[in-house]
Amino acid sequence: MLNKTERQKEQILRMSGVNPLKCMRCGKCSGTCPSYDEMEYHPHQFVYMVETGDIETLRNSDSIYKCLSCFACVDRCPRGVEPAKIVEAVRLTVIREKGANHLTANEIPALLDDETPQQLLMSAMRKYSK
Amino acid sequence: MQRIGVFVCHCGTNIAGTIDVKAVAEALKNEPGVVFSTDYQYMCSQAGQDIIKNAIAEHKLTGIVVCSCSPRMHENTFRKTAAAAGLNSYMVEIANIREQCSWVHKEMPVGTEKAIILGKAAVAKVNLNAPLTPGESPVTKRALVIGGGIAGIQTALDIADAGFPVDIVETKPTIGGKMAQLDKTFPTLDCAACILTPKMVEVAQHENIRIFSYSEVSEIKGFVGNFDVTIKRRARYVKEDLCTGCGACTEKCPQKKVPNEFNLGMDNRRAIYIPFAQAVPKVATIDADYCTMLKTGKCGVCSKVCTAGAIDYQAKDEFVEEKYGAIVAATGFNPISMDKFDEYAYSQSKDVITSLEFERLTNAAGPTAGKLLRPSDGEHPHTIVFVQCVGSRCAACAEKGKEYCSKICCMYTAKHAMLTRDKYPDTDVYVFYIDVRTPGKAFDEFYRRAVEEYGVHYIKGMVGKVSPEGNKLKVQASDLIAGKQLHIDADLVVLAAAIEPDKSARPLATMLTASMDTNDFFTEAHPKLRPVESPTAGVFLSGTCQGPKDIPETVSQAGAAASKVIGLLAKDKLTGNPCVAHSDENMCNGCSTCGNVCPYGAITYEDKEFRMPDRTTKMRRIAVVNEAVCQGCGCCTVACMSGAMDLKGFMNKQIMAEVDAICK
Amino acid sequence: MQVNGEFKPLIVAFCCNWCSYAGADLAGNNRLNYPAEVKIIRVPCSCRVNPMFILRAFQRGADGVILCGCHPGDCHYTSGNYYTRRRMALLFSMLDYLGIEKERTRVEWVSAAEGAKFAATMNDFVEKVTALGENKRLEDLRCKK
Amino acid sequence: MQEIKREDLIAKAAQLLADGTVDRVIGWKKGEFDYDVTPAVFTSKEELENEFVWNDFCGANFSKYLRKEAEKTESKAAVFLKPCDTYSFNQLLTEHKFDREKVYAVGVPCNGMLDDSKIKAAANGISSVSEENGKVAVETLYDGKITLERNEMLAERCVNCKSKKHVAYDELLGEDGEVLDSARFDEVAKIEAMSADERFAFWQNELSRCIRCNACRNICPACTCEKCVFDNPDSGVENKAIADSFEEKMFHIIRAFHVVGRCTDCGECSRVCPQNIPLHLLNRKFIKDINGFYGDYQAGAEAGSRAPIVDFTKEDLEPGEAVERGGENA
C-alpha cells in the first residue's frame, strides 16, 4: 500500500510525465523563471521536492498559482525535465480536489430541505467554484 | 581418421581428489579415433610434457586431448608441447576437468561421469580438427598520423624518434591545432605557444617526419601492416619548396576583408596568408574563395612582390599515394555552434563570446594584442560572467547540445577567471557552475586559488537568460545556494561551449572501418584495457577524437598510441590468429549480410568467375575474408544463411560434434 | 535423464571465451558448487552460437540450453553480444510461439569477475529446468537411447 | 477483377520487345487448369497474344526468377511486378542477387488474387473458372455453374494486403496505391494469446502435415543460397525426408529464421504449400517481433536497407524480456 505522499507523488509524476531523476540540479529553470521573485518555491525546488515527497508544502504554497506557465523552463532545461509540467501537475492535484468538493448549481435543489439554510448552500457553491 | 592420444592430469589431488582419473582415461580409450590414453600426476610438468611428446612419436598421433585445468591456463603450454613433437599446435584440445568439474562438484561418481563426457566432447572436436597455420603478412614500416594538433605532433615525434618514418596529414595550412590558439595552459599557466612551438619546429626539422599540410586523406584501402592511402594535397597556389615565409605577399595583398579563422573571425586577414607567425610549414596559402586573381584573373600583386617566385596561380589539387603499416587518428575537436542557444544571445551580441574566442582576446598574438577589450566597442569590461556547461551535459535536445561532460571547461574557465582577476583586479568576475569538476593533479588547488586568492565569484546555478540592453548584458541566473535569482549587468559574457569531434572524423572512420559512438568519438578496442587502439587492427587513437581530454591527457595518450604503433612497426611480419573466418566460395551467394555484422571490416566482396558443369563460366559475387584483419569472433558465421562462412578452429561441425558428445 | 528414479536434466551451456568461460573458471577457483548436469562448450564469442546449435542440442536430448556472454558493451569483439541479444530474442520468442517451454532457453551476461553469478545462474537454471521435467517438445525420437 | 486489362499488359510488353528495350518478358501463361496460371518467358508479340494471361490467378511473384533470368544474357528482361512483388524485388537488390541494369520492371496494380484452394473447397470438379460481373463463375462437372463472391475467394495474403504501393519500378501501368494498415498480425496475436500447450498443439497439428516437399523453400524469393543448408551434408541439419516431429520443427524454425529481416511477407510459401500449412504465420511472428522489439521495419521497402537482425542498439531488450513480452508487443 502506498501512503498518501507516495500516492500523490505517483499521481503527479503520471499526470506530468516528468521524471525528476533526470534533473541534474543546475538551476537553469529557476535562472530562467520570470516569476522567480513572486514564488516561494522555485521551479527547481518543485522538481526536487516532488522527488523527495515534500509535496504538501508545495500544495499549500502560493507558488503553484504564481507560475505563469510560460514554459521557458521547459524550453531551456538541458536535461529535458520539463519543470513547468510538474508545477502544473501539483496545481492540478489541488484544483481537482476543489472540483470534487464544490457543488454545482444543478445539485442544489436536491439538497434543499427545511433545516438547511438556502444561503449556506449557495455560499458553499460560490466559495468553492472560484 | 585421426589418431588421438588422451592425457588425463591428476593435478595432484586438485583433479584426482574428486575424479577417478584412471576411469576417465579408461573410458576415453573407447572413443572413436583414440589410440592411446593415459593419466599422470602433473601433465604440465616437464615429465608430463615428455609423456605427451613420446606418445605423439610412438603412436604417430595426429591429435591430442589433455584433460586438465582450464585452457586459459595451459592451452598454450600444451600447444607448444605438441609443436615441439612435430604436431600442429592446433591439433590440441583441452577438456577442462578442473575449474569446470573437480572444483565445482563434490562427489566422485558425479565428477567422474562429467569428466568423461567433457573428455568425449574434446575427442569429438579433435576428430574434426585440421592443422592450422597462422597467416603472415609483411609490415610497411611507415606510420600515418591524421591530424596535426598536439596529439598528432606528439604521436609523430615519438614514432619518428624510434626511427620510423611518419607522415602527418593536416587539413589546415599549418600544424599546431587548437593548442596553437590558446593563451596559457592550466594548471601551471605556462604559455601554450612557448611549449607548443618548439615541438612544431622539431616536427618540421625531424628527418623522419613529412608534413602534408592543407591536405586530407581521400582514400584508405588495405589492412593492418599494409594500408594504401591516397592523400589529397589541396592547391595552395604557393610552391611550398620555394616560399620562404617572408610574408611580403601577405602585407601587399589588396584583399583585406577575409575573416581570420585563426582569431575566430574577430579580425581580418588577407586572401594570401600565413595563419600565424610560428606556423609550420611557414608557407603562404592563397584562399581561393577570396583571391581576386583566381576569381577574376585580374590582380597578381602577390606574384609581383614574391622575390622567390613561389606563387603559382595554375596549381591544381594533387594526389599522393603512400603505403603505411599503421594509422593514427588524431582529428581533434571543435567547440559546438552556439547559434541554437538563443537564451544566451550569442548571435545577437558581439560581447557574448565563447571561451576559445576569449583565449584569442587574451592572447598577445590575438586581435587585441592581448588586451582584454569588448569586441563591440573596444572598451575594457568591468563585469564578466562565465557560464559553464553550455551545451555539455545536455540530454534534452540532440541538435542543441551534447549529453556528455566536455571535461576541460571547468579548468579553463577557472584559468580565464583567475587570469582576468590577476591582470585586471578592478573586474568583477562571476562563474556560474552546475558542478565544478577538477579531478587531476593540482587541479582542485588551482580552482580553489581562483576563489580564495583571486576572489572569483563562483555561484552554483545556471544562467537562464542573457539579454543585451544598451551597452550592457543583463544576465539572469539563479543562485541555488542563496535561493535567490540574480540579475547582473555584465559587460562581457563568456560561454564554455561544449566540444565535439571534428567533422572530418566520421568520414575518416568510414574509410578506416573504425567504429564510432553515437557522439562521433572513435571507439576504443577496449574501454579499459586497450584505450588507444581502435577495434580495427592497425588503427590507433590519439587525443580528443577518442573523447574529451585536456593537454596532459592528450599528450600521454599520444605517447601511448605511438608506443603501440612502434610495437607494430618493429615487427617484420605479423602473425595472425589462425582461428579466423573463411568463406566457402562455392556456397557463398554474395548477399553481403556478413559484412554488415563484421566489427572489423574484414569482409570484402568481389566478382569471381566460376566454371559451370556445362563448361560455361559465370560471374558471381562472393565474400572474401581478410585473414589479417579478422579477429575470429564468428559473428559472420551466424549471419551467413548459406553456411558458406565458417570459423576455423570453431567450425559448425566441430561445435555440433561437441553438442552431440555431451548430449549422447 | 532418469538417475535412480530422479530426473536429472541435461544442460548445455555455451560460454564465450573472454568473459563467461573465465567466469566459470572463477567459480571453480572459488569452489562454488553448481550441478554437474551443466556441460560447458567454449566458443570465441556468444555471437558464434548459431541457432542451429541450440536446436541440435534439444534434438539430441538436452533439456535446457543457456548462452553466456560478456555484458553488453563489454564484448571482446566490441559488438558480438549485441547481435547475440537480437538473434536470441527473436529465436526464443519463436520457440515460445511454437509452444516450447520458455524456461528451457536463457541468455545470461556473466563477466570474468562474476564467478558467483555464474554458479548462481547455473543453480537457478538447473532448478527451473528440473521443475519442467524432460524436454518432450523438441526431442528427436531417433536420438533416444 | 483486375483494374488493368490483359491487352494493356500485352501492348506494353510488345512495345518493349519492339523498341528493343528488352528481348524477353517474364509474364504468366495458362497452366493445365484455369486456376494454375504459371510463370513464362515471352519473346514475341505472337507468343504474348496467344498465351499471355492476366487475371485473378496471377499470384506468382516473379522477383525470384530474376536471379536466373538476369544472368542468362547481357540483354535486358522485362518483368511484371505487383505491389507486393516489388518489395521482394528491392530485397533481392539489397542482397545483390541480380543486376538492376538487366531488368526492366513494369509495375502493375493488383486488386488481390484468388486462392484456388478456397474455390476448390466451394466447388467440386472444376472445369473452368471465369469472372462474371465482379463475381467468380465456376463451371463444374457435377453441379453445373456456381457463382462465388470474389471477396470470399481472395487469398489470405490479399485479404490482409500490406501495400498497394509499388516500391520499385521503371515504369508503372495504371495508378499507384498506398501502403495499407493491414490486419496481418491478428492471426499471430491470436496464437500468442493461447497457452503454451495450446500453441504446441496448434503447431504440432499444422507442422505434422509437412511432407518436406521443399516447395516453400523453392518459391521463397529470400531463399537464394547456392546450396541450401538442408541439402548440404556438411551443415549438420541436412535432411530431405520427413522423419519425425522434430525434423519438421527444425526445418520450419530454421527456414523462418534464415529469412528473418529479409522476408517481405509476400506469402508465396503459404500459397504453394500443398498441405496448406500457414507458413506465413511463422514469418509474420518474426516480423511482428522485429516491429515490436526494434521498431517498424519492412523488408524491401527500401533497397539497401539494413535489416534489424544484422543491426543493434545498445538499449535492445534482453532475450528473457522478449519471451516474457510474448504477444504484448505490436
Interface subset of C 84-113, CB within 8 angstroms of D: 85-102, 105-107
DSSP state at residue C33: -
Size of interface C-D (CB pairs under 8 A): 127
Is the omega angle on the peptide bond into residue B281 within 30 degrees of 0, that is, cis? yes
Name the domain boundary from B527, B557, B573.
B573
Share above pLDDT 70 across residues of chain D, in percent, rounded to a whole number? 96
- When pLDDT is cut at 50, 70 and 90, the band that residue D31 belongs to is confident
Residue of B585, B589, B598, B658 to mutate, interface with D, max D Cβ within 10 Å: B589
| Helix and strand element counts for chain C (H, E) | 4, 6
Q: Is D235 among the domain residues?
A: yes
Neighboring chains of C (3 or more beta-carbon pairs < 8 A): B, D
One-letter amino acid at B522 equals: F
List of chain A residues whose C-beta atoms are within 8 Å of the C-beta of residue B465: 31-32, 72
Q: Cβ C47–B638 below 8 Å, yes or no?
A: yes
Same domain, D227 and D287: yes
Residue A103 C-alpha cell reads as: 457543488
Residue of B103, B118, B638 lying closest to C39 (CB–CB): B118
Same domain, D96 and D165: yes
Q: Tell me: the pLDDT tens digits for D262-279? A: 999 999 999 999 999 999
Q: Is B24 among the domain residues?
A: yes
pLDDT for the residue D66: 87
Residue D103 exposure: Cα atoms within 13 Å on the Cβ side: 28
Question: In chain B, which residue's Cα lies nearest the Cα of C119?
Answer: B104
Q: What is the mean pLDDT of residues D265-294?
A: 94
Same domain, D320 and D201: yes
Q: Is B251 among the domain residues?
A: yes
Name the domain boundary from B500, B523, B546.
B500
- In sequence order, what are the residues at sequence separation of 6 or more whose Cβ sits closer than 8 angstroms to the Cβ of residue B50? none
Share above pLDDT 90 across residues of chain D, in percent, rounded to a whole number? 63
What are the start-end ranges of the E strands in B428-505? 428-433, 457-460, 463-469, 472-479, 484-490, 492-497, 499-501
pLDDT for the residue A101: 58
Q: What is the mean pLDDT of residues A93-121?
A: 73
Comparing C-alpha atoms, which of B246, B252, B350 is closest to residue B293? B252
- When pLDDT is cut at 50, 70 and 90, the band that residue D70 belongs to is confident
CB atoms inside a 10 Å sphere around CB D132: 11
Length in residues, chain D: 330
Which range of residues forms the domain containing residue D286?
Answer: 186-328
Q: Is B398 among the domain residues?
A: yes
Q: What is the mean pLDDT of residues D193-204?
A: 92
Question: CATH number of the domain that B25 lies in?
Answer: 3.40.50
Same domain, B450 and B511: no
pLDDT for the residue A130: 46
- The Cα–Cα gap between D149 and B300 comes to 86
Q: Is D137 among the domain residues?
A: yes
B523 touches chain C (CB under 8 A): yes
Name the domain boundary from B573, B601, B621.
B573
Write the DSSP assignment of D9-50 as a string of letters.
Answer: HHHHHHHHHHTTS-SEEEEEE--SSTT--EEEEE-SHHHHHH
Interface subset of B 99-158, CB within 8 angstroms of C: 99-101, 103-106, 110-111, 113-114, 117-118, 121
Which residues does chain B have with pLDDT short of 50? none
Which range of residues forms the domain containing residue B478?
Answer: 336-500
Q: How far does D216 lie from chain C, in Å, by closest CA?
A: 19
Residue of B98, B114, B655 lying closest to C28 (CB–CB): B98
Same domain, B353 and B407: yes
Size of interface A-B (CB pairs under 8 A): 74
Mean pLDDT: which of A42-46, B525-529, D29-33, D234-238 is highest? A42-46
pLDDT for the residue B600: 86
Same domain, B463 and B408: yes
- The Cα–Cα gap between D81 and D94 comes to 17
List of chain B residues whose C-beta atoms are within 8 Å of the C-beta of residue C89: none
Question: In chain D, which residue's Cα lies nearest the Cα of B652?
Answer: D235
Torsion of CA C82, C86, C87, C92, to 10 degrees: 130
B579 touches chain C (CB under 8 A): yes
Contact D131, D137 (CB under 8 A): yes
C139 touches chain D (CB under 8 A): yes
Q: Is B619 among the domain residues?
A: yes
- The Cα–Cα gap between A52 and A30 comes to 18
List of chain B residues whose C-beta atoms are within 8 Å of the C-beta of residue D309: 639
Q: Is D189 exposed, middle or buried (0-12, 13-18, 19+ CB in 10 A)?
A: middle
Label each residue of B399-428 as H, E or C: CCCCCCCCCCHHHHHHHHHHHHHHHCCCCE
Q: Tell me: the pLDDT tens digits for C21-59? A: 999 999 999 999 999 999 999 999 999 999 999 999 998
- The Cα–Cα gap between D267 and D87 comes to 12
List of chain D residues whose C-beta atoms are within 8 Å of the C-beta of residue C90: 257, 260, 286, 289-290, 293, 309, 322
Q: Is D44 among the domain residues?
A: yes
What are the start-end ranges of the E strands in C57-140? 64-69, 105-109
- In sequence order, what are the residues at sequence separation of 6 or more whose Cβ sits closer than 8 angstroms to the Cβ of residue B208? B159, B160, B161, B163, B164, B165, B166
Q: Cβ A44–B480 below 8 Å, yes or no?
A: yes
- Say what the ipTM of the complex is: 0.78
Same domain, D128 and D242: no
Spell out the domain ranges in chain A. Answer: 4-99
Q: Is B155 among the domain residues?
A: yes
Question: In chain A, which residue's Cα lies nearest the Cα of B462?
Answer: A28
Counted domains in chain B: 5
- The Cα–Cα gap between B354 and B495 comes to 5
Helix segments in B140-190, DSSP class H: 150-161
Contact B451, B413 (CB under 8 A): no
**Average predicted confidence (pLDDT) for chain D:** 89
Q: Tell me: the pLDDT tens digits for D142-179? A: 888 999 999 999 999 999 999 999 999 999 998 888 99
Same domain, B324 and B289: no
Chains A and C touch (3+ CB pairs under 8 A): no
pLDDT for the residue C101: 92
- The Cα–Cα gap between B538 and B535 comes to 9
Question: In chain B, which residue's Cα lies nearest the Cα of D97?
Answer: B591
Comparing C-alpha atoms, which of C80, D113, D202, D128 is closest to residue B597? C80
Is the omega angle on the peptide bond into residue D109 within 30 degrees of 0, that is, cis? no
Same domain, B474 and B364: yes
The CATH number, out of the four listed (3.40.50.300, 1.10.10.410, 1.10.3130.10, 1.10.1060.10), of the domain defined by the range A4-99: 1.10.1060.10
List of chain C residues whose C-beta atoms are within 8 Å of the C-beta of residue B639: 83
The CATH number, out of the four listed (3.40.1710, 1.10.3470, 3.90.550, 3.40.50), of the domain defined by the range C2-143: 3.40.50
pLDDT for the residue D240: 64
List of chain C residues whose C-beta atoms are within 8 Å of the C-beta of residue B525: 78
Residue B111 C-alpha cell reads as: 565428477
Residue of C72, C98, C142 lying closest to D314 (CB–CB): C72
Same domain, D71 and D132: no
Q: What is the mean pLDDT of residues C62-85?
A: 91
Same domain, D107 and D125: no
Residue that is written with C-alpha cell 536470441 in the block: C88
- The Cα–Cα gap between D40 and D96 comes to 23
Q: Is B620 among the domain residues?
A: yes
pLDDT for the residue D242: 62
- When pLDDT is cut at 50, 70 and 90, the band that residue D327 belongs to is very low
Q: What is the mean pLDDT of residues D196-201?
A: 92
Same domain, B123 and B146: no
- The Cα–Cα gap between B13 and B42 comes to 10
Comparing C-alpha atoms, which of B191, B138, B168 is closest to residue B558? B168
pTM as predicted: 0.73
Contact B153, B205 (CB under 8 A): no
Comparing C-alpha atoms, which of B442, B417, B420 is closest to residue B430? B417
